A and B are shown apart, each in its own frame.
Chain A
Amino acid sequence: MKIVRTIIRRLRALGQSRVVKQEIDEELRFHLEQRIAGNIAAGMSPAEAERAARKQFGNVQSIREECRETRGATFGEEMLQDIRFGLRMLRKNPGFTTVAVLTLAFGIGVNTSMFSGLQSLLLPKLPYPDPDRLVRVFRTSSHSQRWPHSPANFLDQQQQNTVFERMAAVNGRSCNLSGPGQPDERLRALEASADFIPLLGIQPLLGRAFLPEEDRPSRNNVIILNHGFWLRRFSADTNILGRTLRLDGQTVTVVGVMPPNFQEGQQWGSVDVLRPIAFTDDQRQNRGGNYLDVVARLQPGLSLAQANAGIEALAARMREDHPDNNSDVGLRAVSLAQARMDPRGKIMLWLIMGLAGFVLLIACANLANLQFARTALRTRELAIRGAMGAPRGRLLRQLLTESLLIAALGGVLGLLLSSWGNQILSSQLVEDGKPLLNLKLNFLVLGFALAVSTLTGLAFGLVPAWLASRSNVNTALKQGSRGATGDRSQHRLRHGLIVIQAALALMLLAGAGSVVSGLRNFGNQDPGWRVDGLSTGQLNLADDKYGNAKLRQAFVERLQEKLAALPGVERAAIASSLPHSGPRMATDLAVEQQSEATSGRRNLRSVNYVSPGYFTTLGVRLLDGRDFTTADTDDRPDVIIVNETLARTYWPGESAIGKRIGYPDAWLEVVGVVNDVRSPTDAGEPSTRFQSYQSLAQHSQGSLTVAVRGNISAGALRQAVAELDADLPLSQTGTVRAKVTQTHSQFAVGGWLLGGFAGLGLLLAAIGIYGVMAGFVTQRTNEIGVRMALGAQVHDVLKLVLGRGLKLTLLGTALGLIGAVGMTRALKAIAPGLESDSPLVVVVVATLLIVVAMVACWLPAQRAARVDPMVALRSE
């Protein structure tokens, strides 16, 4: 209480410094006048009375100062004085100031940039009302913590739940928009249940949300346009409501347009249109096909933990009622804002942020060292000022003010650097022409930069300032210039800082080195198929023209023939997906005559539906058995081709051909074994190592990917498709290599970023080592002079200085090695796809660090070797 009152009074005094001064003056004047009046009354002449009064009163000036000090009125003035003095000192030492400010600017800049990235990913603000109550619900199982739901399960949950106000299911898919008057286009549609838009709490910009009755197959011929698509395709036409469009050959009516903020904070990619999800009766019964994303709004006042406890009851009921599909299922609600970041990405981000923190730590150690060196040089000045009566607290404050000034300058410059860095990063990290990250310098980021600057200012200013103010006035003055050596504890502290810097720099270098080498190895790895010379495109066979498997299969066969016959094309194939985008589908792996119990938990196998010739087109080798043929049709027994890993794991030492896998009621016969394929874009652990291929002719698909080996343009591919069906757009055309390169370039940005951190850390550490060794030489000039006078050779002196530097660096390296091992281990856990040559990398970076440190020591050592004994001894 008392402290608060004092602070308030002080603050008020700070603001009213002049008022306080005037009041004191007035009070003292009153006293003086009363005394004069008293003296006159006692019989003195006026002149005599005044003289006597003044004499008795004493020094008005010093009384006034003492009063003001008590009131804290001088605090502000002294601060201004300190700042002015500090600025003068910084101007007088431009070398020190530049190095210190730049060091700090880089440290703060790097961290502010990383923090703005981190906060945009980890703390995104959802542009919806009451966003804390929005959650995403995942189905969990032994395979995954983030699995989608089947329609039947979702409908049960929606009906039985007690913790959510509303639940909605969404499903992203593509559809074809045809004419009129404009080229056909493949759109990204989000199918959503009627509750979806009200659940988010937003209103369409134009028109209305879907009505509950439109969520049925017969009534679902309505569409809501997303803002971006409305701008692009319809030039923001406000008369769009009620217009009809041809979508997948169906006529749909535009009933609304979404507001622009709908897309922000979304997790379903960029969406062009919204459709009612409108489950058919078949879909309502579907309990095995998990493909729906579920979002929900918590009931008011309920916490996430309460909700999770509540839905456990739902999961228990699912396990009980439908054990065949849901034996090990669980449910997990995650805040919608957090849900779009997968845990591995989060760890990666924290890791990058942590490495950026290392840069800042090195910068701080550097500054503390610089400050030590400088306060050591100023010991005499400080001692004299102390001897003249400056209180210790005042000296401490002065030194701290200087540190904070440097921190403030560094902070401002760092902020500029980071806004510039953010621009570069944003322009590099793009997907489909849109920035991946929203790197804005908002108040949170500014606050972060401010806090970091202040903390570093205090951290690197406090200890040296305290040590300097503690130094004994007498010894400091007596020792003369030798007083600058400081005491032993200070030496040990400075050397300790060098060791820490070297250790941190090594860890940074090792981390960055492992990632960069891992990325290079990853890019050079054999993915099991030939990426080069392959072109691709995607299309969607809509229900109106291709309503049954026969129609679809007929089209696929014609398309494959046509593509293969194009000039320049060697081979062509059609599949549900290509390996570069990772597997689209995975299903439980059941093997005939092999008990599940042996493995403890069920494995998954990825499924790709492919046409004959897919393997030769992609360059995947057939190791055993045969490829699919045109004879593997609908009316023939189901066949399957598996990868080498699956075959070896389940039938070790024997041929997989003729074995059966699939589902207990529908076994598929293995007819071929192919080599494993890998996505050259995904560095994470694949969801399964077991891959399987089924015949497209036996399981026809609407959403298809074409693969063409040969020299052909994207235009020619689109033209070929259009010649078969003028209404069928081929989208996402291009070479597979280009798509892979695009993803790799995002990795490369990460690699460059870490490399940049490491380079910066190394540079800062080198500056630190140089600074300390230069100080060492300056302080030992006399000693060196004496040694040389007594016959020491140049190489002896070099050895003295280099030996000292080497000792510190080696100690730091040894410490850093321990950290580096931990760092590479952590990286391996995060990105198992990045196999780096860790031991080699660590050896290389450790050597690099030692060489750089030796160069940093070499310059002061040279200066030491040039010491003229005569000059050195005389300077004492």
Chain B
Amino acid sequence: MATTKAELLQGTLDLLILKTLTVGSLHGYAIVQRIQQRSNDVLVVEEGSLYPCLYRMEEKGWISAEWGKSDNNRRAKFYSLTRAGRKQLEEETAIWERVCRAITLVLQPA
């Protein structure tokens, strides 16, 4: 397990989940694992915030859920991006990049 953890900014979890789902439909556990791997174990998503977040995003129509079989042949709920979700991802990515650039600018030595 990673020793350094970053607190997730409010709203970034949405972005991470949306981005993660661009590879295809995943269940909740796989989403956590993937985010952790891709961030080199820096970002660890807490289950306590993941599931309410997934449900909220489903309610907003960004992702859709479906019951299917997991790799080990268990019944699991798979989430995938909807069209609205893709659009949301694009918008949020743009905002994120702008914010990042802005923060970098601020942090640059004067």
Contact = CB atoms under 8 A, between A and B. Distances in A.
Interface string B46-62: 11100110011001010
Interface in B27-53: 27-29, 32-33, 46-48, 51-52
A35 interface: yes
Contacts of B51: 24, 27-28, 31, 63, 66-67
17 contacts: A5-B61, A27-B27, A27-B28, A27-B51, A27-B77, A30-B29, A30-B74, A30-B75, A35-B29, A38-B33, A58-B48, A59-B48, A67-B51, A70-B52, A70-B55, A70-B56, A70-B59
A31 B47 contact: yes
B60 to A, nearest CB: 9
Interface in A28-84: 28, 30-31, 33-35, 37-38, 56-59, 62-63, 66-67, 70-71
B12 interface: no
Task: Give the one of A59, A70, A71 with max B CB within 10 A.
Answer: A70
B22 interface: no
Interface in B57-92: 59, 61, 70, 72, 74-77
Contacts of A67: 51-52, 55
Contact of B76 (A30, A38, A57, A71): A30
Contacts of A57: 47-48
Interface centre among A23, A35, A58, A63 (most CB of B within 10 A): A63
Interface residues of B, number: 20
Nearest to A2: B61
A66 B77 contact: no
| A interface: dominant SS | helix
A2 B48 CA distance: 27
Nearest to A58: B48
Nearest to B72: A37
A30 B70 contact: yes
A67 B77 CA distance: 14
Contacts of A9: 59
A63 B52 CA distance: 7
Contacts, number: 60
A588 interface: no
A26 interface: yes
A63 B46 CA distance: 11
Q: Which of B47, B56, B74, B75 has the most CB of A within 10 A?
A: B47
Would you list the 6 A-B pairs with minimal beta carbon distance, nearest first? A70-B55, A66-B52, A58-B48, A34-B29, A67-B55, A27-B77
A28 B76 CA distance: 10
A63 B61 CA distance: 21
A6 interface: yes
Given A58-B46, A63-B47, A71-B55, 13 more contacts: A26-B77, A27-B28, A28-B51, A31-B51, A33-B74, A34-B29, A37-B72, A38-B33, A58-B47, A62-B48, A66-B51, A66-B55, A70-B55
B77 A23 contact: yes
A24 B77 CA distance: 10
A82 B68 CA distance: 38
A34 B30 CA distance: 9
B53 to A, nearest CB: 9
A23 B61 CA distance: 19
Contacts of B61: 2, 5
A134 B87 CA distance: 60
A67 B57 CA distance: 11
A31 B32 CA distance: 10
Nearest to A9: B59
Contacts of A5: 61
A26 B48 contact: no
A642 B75 CA distance: 103
Contacts of A31: 27-29, 32, 47, 51
B34 to A, nearest CB: 13
A67 B51 CA distance: 7
A324 to B, nearest CB: 79
Contacts of B52: 63, 66-67, 70
Nearest to B47: A57
A51 to B, nearest CB: 15
Given A2-B61, A6-B59, A63-B52, A27 B47 contact: no
Contacts of A62: 48
Nearest to B46: A58
Contacts of B28: 27, 30-31
Contacts of A59: 48
A34 B48 CA distance: 16
Interface string A320-361: 000000000000000000000000000000000000000000
Contacts of A56: 46-47
A70 to B, nearest CB: 4
Nearest to A24: B51
A12 to B, nearest CB: 13
Contacts of B59: 6, 9, 70-71
Contacts of A2: 61
Contacts of B27: 27, 30-31
A429 B64 CA distance: 65
Nearest to B32: A31
A742 to B, nearest CB: 69
Interface string A148-184: 0000000000000000000000000000000000000
Contacts of A63: 47-48, 51-52
A5 B74 CA distance: 30
Contacts of A6: 59
A66 B52 CA distance: 6
Given A2-B61, A67-B55, A70-B56, A27 B48 contact: no
Nearest to A28: B51
Contact of A26 (B46, B70, B75): B75
B76 A27 contact: yes
Interface string B17-33: 00000000001110011
Contacts of B32: 31
A764 B29 CA distance: 64
